[in-house]
Amino acid sequence: MGRIVVISTGGTIASRWQGSGFAADADGSEVMATAPLPEGITVEVVDLFSVNSPRLTTAHQLTLLRTVHEVLADPGVDGIVVTHGTDTLEESAFLVDLHHHDARSVVFTGSQRPMGTADGDGPENLYDALLTAATTRGLGVLIAFAGRVHAARGTVKTQAVELDAFADPSKELLGKIGFGKVAILRTPQRPAPLALPAMPELPPRVDVVMHHADGDAVLLNAAVAAGARGVVLVGTGAGNATPEIVDAVKAAVGRGVLVALTTRVMAGPVTEIYTHGGAVDLVAAGAVPTGTLRAGQARIAVLSALLGAADTAGRVRILHEVLGAPGSVLVGA
């Protein structure tokens, strides 16, 4: 069925007891030794790093992105599996997907239970990810977890500790895995891939600020004062805040800060319905609505736009393209 390269980055799937809690310390070969291989698949391992995923930095994620491209430069590779911690898996997978220009699949997986546990889910997830990487094409970056296949775009961690941890709350399931087969149920929507960014000496700062009752502009202004080149505003409802935050957004945009607008609601798109500080006013002030992307992936979209152009107009254009805003093209729509 093919030659699959497994890029190991740590996470629960590589974690063992450390005396007071679990932490990633196993290398990729140890992780691979826990799982059977689908028939006809050969595996090579790249040990990139081994960390708990909340500790990942933009530098880690850009290193992973470049490593994926380097591996796919070999035409003899049939697909890639990335083992990754679940806490930030949705962010890394989306970053790789935004820059993925190859028909071969890159499949992220991990586990909710540490390696070596009797009821561990890592071996099955890894087997399913290998099978998915070997048998699918043209779907972009995928997540294989708990017998399900998800598109990277829009998929978030929806369960803190339960095994079926990932879903796209705004879309139907992409696929299922069982009995040695992968069944794909729909075609994911993806914008045209971005060019591979350079590795900046200091990645741009992108902060996330959430609105709530009694929320004011202090944290948004503090992010800008701290040097943020991008801010994701997490609004209420369909993407709403207050007139004071609208003023702060307008001031930030005037300083060249890229502002994206998402919502703290689990499912559904950001929508321009309300004024008096709502999405109507926030978008008019320069915030870019993120559709159904939530905070973590919206932040990755802003980061990719900042890395993709040197000027404000170019960054705004890229952000609109990445988000599938009106006038851009979504492949598979």
- What is the set of active-site residues? 12
Residue 85, CA distances (Å) to 11, 54, 89, 152, 218 in order? 3, 8, 6, 15, 32
Give me 163's structure tokens.
């095994």
Judging by beta carbons within 10 Å of its beta carbon (0-12, 13-18, 19+), is residue 47 exposed, middle or buried? middle
Classify each residue of 162-197 as buried b or exposed e, where b means 16 or more C-beta atoms within 10 Å of its C-beta: ebebbbbeebeebbebeeeebebeeebebbeebeeb
Q: Using DSSP, state whether 289 is helix, strand or coil.
A: strand
Q: How far apart, in whole angstroms, are the C-alpha atoms of residue 8 and residue 120?
A: 18
Strand partners, 82: 7, 108
Residue 217 burial (10 A CB sphere; 0-12, 13-18, 19+) = buried
Instruction: Provide the sign of the torsion angle of the four alpha carbons 315, 318, 322, 327, taken in this order.
Output: positive
User: How far is it between the farthest Cα atoms of the chain?
Assistant: 61
Contacts of 31 (CB under 8 A, 6+ apart): 6, 8, 13, 14, 83, 115, 122, 126
